[in-house]
Amino acid sequence: MEQQTLIYIVVGLTFALYIGIAIYCRAGSTKEFYVASKGVHPVANGMATAADWMSAASFISMAGMIAWMGYEGSVFLMGWTGGFVLLAMLLAPYLRKFGKFTVPEFIGDRYYSKTARVIAVICLILASLTYVIGQMTGTGVAFSRFLEVDYNTGLTIGMIIVFFYAVMGGMKGITYTQIAQYCVMILAYTIPAIFISLQMTGYALPQLGLGAALVDNGTYVLDRLDQVVTELGFREYTATEGVSRLNMTFYTLSLMIGTAGLPHVIIRFFTVPKVRDARSSAGYALLFIAILYTTAPAVAGMARLNLADTLGTSPETALSYEDRPQWFKNWEQTGLLKFEDKTGDGLIHYSADETVNEMVRLDRDIIVLANPEIAGLPSWIIALVAAGGLAAALSTAAGLLLAISSAISHDLLKGVFRPNISEKQELLAGRISMAGAIAVAGYLGYNPPDFAAGTVALAFGIAAATLFPALMLGIFYKRANREGVIAGMLAGLIVNLLYVFQHMGVFFIDSTSFLGPMPANWFFGIEPNAFGAVGAIVNFTVAITVSKLTAPPPQYIQDLVDDVRVPVGARLAPDVH
């Protein structure tokens, strides 16, 4: 069967599945719409969280980034997984005990302040909306690449699918769709990796394969990789030299704190029945995520080696353009690979040196996208990778949109402006704000702002510098009060925005950047993407200082904190006093 037909069939089947789930899981109450009635099994929630968390960037781009960065790419692996440890131990069980629907709701109640709640809503929307732009463009790119439609058509199809199950089913529909999406995504990612690992090393598990010897000549994969990339003139793959440890530490820390503070991930832990489930569910989530995240470095290393070996590492071994393999031709058509015969000898000279390099375009995304073809796998697996990429983008977009719409309908409308609306009206408001959020996200996807590339870093920075400290202090520091947390969130937000903008331009417009992107001006050599951790430290410091200088929170708030700290009611047994 024709490859393209097969892709249509596999992708079509998965969409039918998602829509089927949406019809089956309609939400009838606000509790179903916001938190799936708090009835989701911890393993199921773990799987849904994994799909929620792993975006198009994790699925399509991460392995490619690691393949080119080598050891330094570890920041993504550690940063995007280590945050779950913080989430499990510092936030999830306590917020679940609190037992409400949204993140700003906790902040508003804990800090007895509507102002704090509104600031939290603003931070949430800033973080989620900047993040959703990346998902929408990812959806558009994935659709256009796999379904051979143009970008706008692809984006429209994506919006309709998300609209269908997110507006109808709310959290309930999203949860069960995400479980299906996780399964599609993980199969699509691991099957090609297993085949490649088997071919190259004889080990079925890619995690072992990367540390094993090549079947061809008995050299270790990583040793061979180090050798090949240095022959090409790149830095040694596993080397730690020339990598700033301070920058790496802060980058990893920012991604970890950002991960723990991203509202669309936190609200997933509101859906389980018990505090105990929130703890174990975080473990299942990370387990499901780890399957992909420990496979990714193997995909990265092996694909990079495969690519270098195919293209040749010196003029003597250079591949003739005539003899290029079929996958090379296929991806040339998409423009992701581009060869320019500078020397005119018909050979592909690939090198780190830009003046002699003839692979003028070698998009990092092909590490994952072309993987099955490089390994010569059957065409149904290629179709599965297409469905996997789409599942990754759609599942994350839906989670983010729910976080945004619940903040609008529950926190702003019900919480601040119209406290008296009925549950039915609130459910309708939730659906309308979901539809609105999809429309805004879609608009931003059709007209991606110039700063689209910088948005993911900004989302993490905002979550790390504002929401995470406010939540953590609310649980662990009883003395934290309204004044402190408002000052802290604002300080964290401002510091983070200023640092990112001064180096990358106000709203990422280059000409307005007054310090320029040059590393010489970076604060202790910390790059803007890694600045969220600094913002968080500023937030903690300001919040604690201001709290100490102002009146302590009222007694009922201190009781509330006591209550949140224990799985069942914390108030003392009445007969003891």
Partner 1 sequence: MPFKNEALKKAYWRDNLRIVAVLIVVWASVSYGAGILFAEQLNAYAIGGYPLGFWFAQQGSIYTFVVLIFVYARLMTRLDRRYGVEELDDEPTEQ
List of residues contacting partner 1 (CB under 8 A): 38, 66, 71, 74, 77-78, 81-82, 84-85, 88-90, 93, 97, 99, 207-208, 210-213, 220-223, 238, 240-241, 245, 248-249, 252-253, 273-276, 279-280, 282-283, 286-287, 290, 293-294, 297, 562, 565-573, 576
- Measured over the CA atoms of residue 96, residue 99, residue 102 and residue 105, the dihedral's sign is negative
- Measured over the CA atoms of residue 406, residue 453, residue 236 and residue 351, the dihedral's sign is positive
Nearer to partner 1, 241 or 354 (CB): 241
- Residue 461, exposed/middle/buried by CB under 10 A (0-12, 13-18, 19+)? buried
Cα 273 versus chain centre, distance? 25
Cβ 433 to partner 1 shortest distance, Å: 25
Cβ 254 to partner 1 shortest distance, Å: 13
Amino acid at 383: A
Cβ 390 to partner 1 shortest distance, Å: 25
Nearer to partner 1, 74 or 144 (CB): 74
Nearer to partner 1, 145 or 410 (CB): 410
Cβ 62 to partner 1 shortest distance, Å: 12
**Half-sphere exposure for 69 (CA within 13 Å, toward CB):** 16
Cβ 300 to partner 1 shortest distance, Å: 9
Q: Phi and psi of 348, rounded to 5°?
A: -90, 105
Question: What is the DSSP annotation of 501-539?
Answer: HHHH-GGG-GGG-SS-S-GGGSGGG--GGGTHHHHHHHH
Nearer to partner 1, 138 or 301 (CB): 301
Cβ 561 to partner 1 shortest distance, Å: 10
Contacting residues for 491 by C-beta, under 8 A, at least 6 apart: 538, 539, 542
> Helix (H, G, I), strand (E, B), or coil: what is residue 194?
helix
Residue 323: how many other CB atoms lie within 10 Å: 10
Nearer to partner 1, 221 or 538 (CB): 221
The whole-angstrom separation of Cα 481 and Cα 220 is 56
Cβ 419 to partner 1 shortest distance, Å: 20
Closest Cα to residue 15, out of 172, 170, 139?
Answer: 139
The whole-angstrom separation of Cα 453 and Cα 326 is 31
Question: What is the DSSP annotation of 373-437?
Answer: HHTT--HHHHHHHHHHHHHHHHHHHHHHHHHHHHIIIIIIIIIII-TT--HHHHHHHHHHHHHHH
The whole-angstrom separation of Cα 267 and Cα 288 is 18
* 331's tokens: 């991806």
Cβ 66 to partner 1 shortest distance, Å: 8
Number of helical H runs and strand E runs in the chain: 25, 4
Contacting residues for 428 by C-beta, under 8 A, at least 6 apart: none
Nearer to partner 1, 20 or 283 (CB): 283
The whole-angstrom separation of Cα 196 and Cα 525 is 38
Amino acid at 152: N
The whole-angstrom separation of Cα 257 and Cα 91 is 11
Q: How far apart are the first and last CA of the chain?
A: 78
Nearer to partner 1, 332 or 562 (CB): 562
Nearer to partner 1, 245 or 524 (CB): 245
Nearer to partner 1, 179 or 289 (CB): 289
Nearer to partner 1, 62 or 387 (CB): 62
Nearer to partner 1, 211 or 517 (CB): 211
Nearer to partner 1, 322 or 575 (CB): 575
